[in-house]
Structure 1
Amino acid sequence: MKRKFIHQKGLSNKFWDIDYSGTTQKVVYGKIGAKGRETVKEFSNEVECIKSSESLIVQKTKKGYTEIKEGAKIPEKKELSENEKSEIHFWNAIEKSNKHKHTHWNEYDLEEHIESLTEHLSKWGKERLVSFEKIFQEKLVKLYTAEIAELYIILNNEFEFKDGVYTLDSYLSVDGFLYFRCWILLKGKTFFEDITKDINEFISGKYSFDIADCWAEELMYVSDEAYSENHENKDESEIRDAVSELFPKLNYDNGEFSLNREPKSGKELFDQYPELVKSMCELREQ
C-alpha cells in the first residue's frame, strides 16, 4: 500500500511517503522538490509490517502531516513574509525552551524557562535577535487591553468577599501589568491566542498555572542577555536599542497606545466574570 503525506505548516515544506507490502516497509522523506532520503525495513511477518506502518502514519498525522491522493499534485506552499517567519521563530523559541510544558504546573520553573530560552537564543545572530525582540514587543502591545488588565486584577489584587459577592481592588500597577503580560507570552502561542479572545479561557480546563507566580520581568531582557553570551554588549541593551531605532513608534508600555476602554473594577468584575473571579479568588484563599 502506498500513501503520501505532506507538511506545509509554518516554516515546514516536507513530504513523507510510505509504501508497505508483505513484509517490506519503504519510507521516503525530505523537503518537497528534493529527492529525499529512503529507508527500507524488513519484518518477520506481514502483520507486524502493517502494524508498524499504521503506527508511523498516526505519528505523522499527529505532527500535522496531511495525506494527499496518489497522483495528486502537491500544492505550492505560500511564501511567508519576513514578519510571519519571525513570529514563527518567536513562538518556537518560547515553546521549545519550556521543558515542562506538558507536565503539571508545579513542575514549571520560570527561571529555568528563561535560562533555557536565553541559551536557545544565544545561538542566533543579531538580526534574528532583533526580529525576536520586535515580535516580543508587538505581542506586549497586543496584550495591552482592558480585558487583560482585568485578568491581572483578578489574579493579583486584594479582594473582599461579602454577601456572596467578590469585590476587587481596582489598582493597576504599570510595572506589574507589564511583567504579567510577559508571563502570558511565556505560556506559548495557543494560550496567548485563547486568552486574547476571551480571558475566561483561563478556567477552561485546558491550562494549569501557578497563579502565585505570574510575573516574568526577566523576559524583557532575554534578547540582550542572549546576545551578551557571545558578544560584548557594552550598554546591555543593544538589541532593544536597535528595535527602538528601527521601529520608533513601537512602544510596548503606553506611549503611543491606550487601553481600548477603562478596566472594570470592584464588584463590576464579579458581575462581568462571575465564574472566573469566584474560582480564582477561592484558589487564592487556599
Structure 2
Amino acid sequence: METTLIYKDGSSNKFWKINVSGKSYSITYGKIGTVGAVKVKSFDSEEACQKDADKLIKSKMKKGYTPANAVDQVMKEGSMTEIVFWEMLKTAKQKGEDTEEQIEWMVSHLSKKPVKDIVIFDYFFNQNYLKSYTSDLWAAAYIIMGGASDDSFDYFRAWLLFQGKEIYDEVINDPEKIIPHLKVLEDEEDVPQLEDLLSAASIAYEEKTGLNYDEYFDLYVKLTGDETIPPDIEFDWDEEDVDGLKKKFPTLWEKYGDNPLEY
C-alpha cells in the first residue's frame, strides 16, 4: 500500500509518502520536486505495521496534508542510473594515486548524494557483482593468486568490477583476458583484491546519516527488494588437480601457476 500526501500553504510546499510492505514501511518526505529523504521502520507483525502506518496517515491529514493527485509530479526521481554507476567508478579511478584514495573519493562523493541514490548505486553494484560469481572465474582467481578462499574471491571480484564495465564483462566471459590488466599489480607486487569497494555505499550512508549498517541494510532491502543470496556453485575444477587447471586455463597457468601474485 502506498499513500502520497502533500502540504501547501504560503511558506510550505512539501510531500510525505508512505509505502507499506509486509512488516515494514518506508517514508519519503521533503520539498515537492526533490528526491526527498527516506527512512524505514520494521515491526513484529504486518498488523502492527499497518496500524502504525494508518495512524501516521491520519496524523498528517489532521495537520493539513491532502492526498496528491496521480498526475502531480510530487517527487523528483533519483539521478542514479546504471550508466551513472559505471561513470562513477571510472571517475573514481582518476581521483587518487592508489585504490585507497580512489575509494575515499567515491565514499565522499556518494555521501553528498540523496540517500536513495546511495542505495541505488549499491543495487547496481550488487546486480553486476553477482554476475562474476562463477566457477570459471574462481578457478582463474585461484591460479592467479595461488589460492582463493571465499573472502579472497569476493575481494578479487570487487577489484575486477572496479576496472570498468568493458573489462569486467570481457573477463567474466573469458577469464584469460584478465592478463594484460594485471601488469600494474605485478610491477607493484600487489594482488587483485579490493575489499573496500564492497562497503563503499554503506559507509557513505553512515557518513551522511550517522546510522549504522543494520539500518542501512533494512533501507536497502525495503527500497530495492533485493535480498539476493549467491547460488551454490557447481565447481568443474579441483584445486588439487593441477593437470585439470592447466588444461582449463593454459595461458593463465603458464604465467601464474608457478609464480602467483601474492602479498
Shorter-chain-normalised TM-score: which range? Answer: 0.5 to 0.7
Matched, 1:94 2:89: yes
SS in 1 for 2:137: helix
Q: 1: CA distance between counterparts of 2:234 and 2:119?
A: 28
Length, aligned pairs only: 180
Look up the equivalent residue of 1:223 and give its one-letter code.
Answer: A
Equivalent-residue separation in structure 2 for 1:117 and 1:94 (angstroms):
8
Deviation at 1:206, TM superposition (A): 6.0
In structure 2, which of residues 220, 224, 233 is the aligned counterpart of residue 243 of structure 1? 220
CA displacement, residues 243-268 of structure 1 (integer Å, 9 cap, x when unaligned): 234424422xx3xx122543443321
CA RMSD of aligned residues (A): 2.9
Aligned equivalent of 1:213: 191
Asked if the contact 1:180/1:214 (under 8 Å) is kept, the reply is: yes
Query: Match of 2:221, as an amino acid?
Result: S
Residue equivalent to 1:124 = 113
In the alignment, what sits opposite 2:166? 190
Corresponding position of 1:275: 251
Counterparts of 1:186 and 1:229, CA distance in 2: 22
Q: What fraction of aligned residue pairs are identical, expressed as a percent?
A: 24
Aligned AA (2:233): L
Q: Is the 8 A contact 1:129 1:223 kept in 2?
A: yes
Aligned AA (1:96): T
User: Match of 2:236, as an amino acid?
Assistant: E
TM-score normalised over the length of structure 1: 0.55
Counterpart-to-counterpart distance in 2, 1:135 and 1:236: 18
The offset of 1:94, in angstroms, is: 0.8
The amino acid of 2:163's aligned partner reads: K
Give the whole-Å Cα distance in 1 for the aligned partners of 2:182 and 2:193: 17
Aligned residue in 1 for 2:7: none
1:24-47: CA deviation from partner (whole Å, max 9, x where unpaired): xxxxxxxxxxxxxxxxxxxxxxxx
Alignment correspondent of 1:156: 145
Q: Give, in whole Å, the separation in 2 of the partners of 1:117 and 1:263.
A: 37
Runs of 5+ unmatched residues, structure 1: 1-81, 101-106, 159-171
Instruction: Please give the alpha-carbon distance, in whole angstroms, between the structure 2 residues aligned to 1:95 and 1:200.
Output: 23
Q: How does 1:38-187 map to 2 (within 5 A)?
A: 86-99=81-94, 109-157=98-146, 172-187=148-163
CA gap of 1:188–1:262, structure 2 versus 1, over 3 A, is same
TM-score by structure 2 length? Answer: 0.60
1:193 is displaced (CA, Å) by 1.1
- Structure 2: 5+ residue stretches without partners: 1-76
Cα gap change, 1:153 to 1:285, in 2 (>3 Å): closer
Quick check: 2:146–2:261 contact (8 Å CA) kept in 1? no
Q: C-alpha deviations, 1:194-226, integer Å up to 9, x for none? A: 1011001112x4663416322211112111211
Deviation readout 1:69-128 (Å, 9 max, x if unpaired): xxxxxxxxxxxxx99x6211211111101127xxxxxx9522112112112212211111
Partners of 2:86 and 2:164 within 8 A in 1: yes
- Label 1:283 to 1:192 Cα distance change in 2 as closer, same or farther (>3 A): same
Match of 1:20? none
Number of the residue aligned with 1:47: none
Alpha-carbon separation, structure 2, partners of 1:189 and 1:238: 30
